[in-house]
Amino acid sequence: MTAVRVGSARRVSWVDRFLTGLRIVLIALIAAGLVAFVAQQISVDNPFARWRNPDATGLTGDQLKGLVVTGIAQGSMYGLIALGYSMVYGVLGFINFAHGEVFMLGAMSGFVASNKLSANGYWESNFFGSFVIVVVIAILVSTAAAVIMERVAYRPLRDSPRLIPLITSIGVSFFIQNAVLGLLGPNSHSYPQLPEWLAKSRSILTFEIPGTKVMVMVVAALSMAVLWWVVERTKTGKAMRAVAEDKEIAALMGINVDRTIVLTFAIGGAMAGIGGILWGLSFRSVTHLTGFLPGIKAFTAAVVGGVGNLGGAMAGGVSLGAAESLGPQLILEPLGVSGVSQLRDAVAFTALVVVLLFKPSGLFGERLSEDDRT
C-alpha cells in the first residue's frame, strides 16, 4: 500500500514536465538576453551582440543608472501599496482588490488639495507647508476610505468563505472608480508643477537623480521604517500579529479583534495614501482609472515578495519596479524584440511567473499561521 503511494508520488506527470520545460526556457531566455547585453556593452560590433539585434547600440553608464533609479522609485511606490494588500491578507486571509482604488483616492484627493493650494498661490510660496497639508489630506481620505470599506463591505462577510469578500472587493473597486468618475469627470487631472529646487536633478554617488525620485524614495523608506517599527516593536503591532495568527485566541488574550482589523485597514490605507501622493507628484496626472494598473502591479509585488510578509511586500515592490524598468533594455532589446519600452507591463507579470515557477511562496517565503488558508 505504502509502496504504491510512494510510486505514484514519484511519477512525473506531463504538467511537471511542462513546468520544468518552462523554467528552462525562461532561464535560457533571460541568460541569453543578459549575455547578449554584456556582449553589446563590451563592443557593439561583437558577433554575439549582432546575433539577434543587428541595430544594437548598447547603453551608456548614465542611461543604465537612470533606469535603475527609475525602477527603484517606481518600485517603492508599488511597495507602499503592496503593504496594504499584504497586511489585509495576513489578518483576514483574502486579497482586497479594492486597495488599488484606495491608492487612487489618495492621489485624487492630493490633486484636489494641491490644486486649491496652487490656485491660492500657497503652493508656490510655501511648498513645504502645502506638501505637508496635501499629504495629510491624502492620508486622511485613504484611511477613511479603507476603514469605511472594511466596515460596510467586509465585516458583514467576516465568517463567509474567503472567495466572497474577494468578489465583493472587486465590486467595491468598481463602485469607487465610478463614484470618482461621477464626481470629477473622466478627464485626466494634473497636479501643479513642483518647485524648481525640488524637481532639479542632483548628483548623489555619481547617480544623476531627479529630485522628485529622491523624494519618492526617501518618503517611501521613511514610511516603511515607521510601519515596520510599529508592527514589530509596539503592542499594537503585536496585537495585529496575534490576530493574524489566531483571531479566537487573540480575543481571549483581551485583544479587541474588530478594532485591530480596522487598524490594519487604516494603516494599509495610510500607506496607499502616501503612495498616491508620490505617484501624483511624480507623474503629475491622475484619472479615475489610475488605481487599476498600479494596484495590480502592487498585488503582483506582494505575491513576489511572499504575501503576508511586510518586508517581502516592500522588497517585492522594489524588485518588480527594477525588473520592469531594466528588463526591457537588458534582456528584450539585446534579443531583438522591437518596441521594448512598450513591454514594461509584460515584463512585470513575466517576472511574477518566473518567481512563482521557482519559489511558489514568493521570495521571502511564508509567515502565515497554521490556520486553514484556503
Task: Give contact residues for another protein (rule: CB under 8 A).
Answer: 226, 230, 233-236, 238-239, 241-242, 245-246, 248-257, 263, 367, 369-370
Q: What are phi and psi of 307, to 5 degrees?
A: -65, 140
Among residues 34 and 251, whose Cβ is nearest to another protein? 251
Closest approach of another protein to the CB of residue 360, in Å:
19
8 Å CB contact between 224 and 80: yes
Q: 350: closest CA among 333, 328, 335? A: 328
8 Å CB contact between 77 and 272: no
Among residues 255 and 355, whose Cβ is nearest to another protein? 255
Closest approach of another protein to the CB of residue 246, in Å:
6
Measured at the CA of 81, the angle between CA 96 and CA 285, to 5 degrees, comes to 115
Helix, strand, coil in percent for the chain, rounding step 5: 75, 5, 20
Q: 97: closest CA among 322, 294, 240? A: 294
Closest approach of another protein to the CB of residue 226, in Å:
7
Among residues 196 and 370, whose Cβ is nearest to another protein? 370
Among residues 55 and 370, whose Cβ is nearest to another protein? 370
Among residues 38 and 251, whose Cβ is nearest to another protein? 251
Closest approach of another protein to the CB of residue 103, in Å:
22
Closest approach of another protein to the CB of residue 228, in Å:
13
Buried residues in 184-201 as b, exposed as e (16+ CB within 10 A): eeeeebebbebeeebeee
Please state, in angstroms and rounded to a whole number, the distance separating the CA atoms of residues 194 and 215. Answer: 11
8 Å CB contact between 360 and 352: no
Among residues 194 and 267, whose Cβ is nearest to another protein? 267
For residue 209, the surrounding DSSP H or E stretch is strand 207-210
Closest approach of another protein to the CB of residue 242, in Å:
5
Closest approach of another protein to the CB of residue 281, in Å:
24
Q: What are phi and psi of 167, to 5 degrees?
A: -65, -40
Among residues 135 and 298, whose Cβ is nearest to another protein? 135
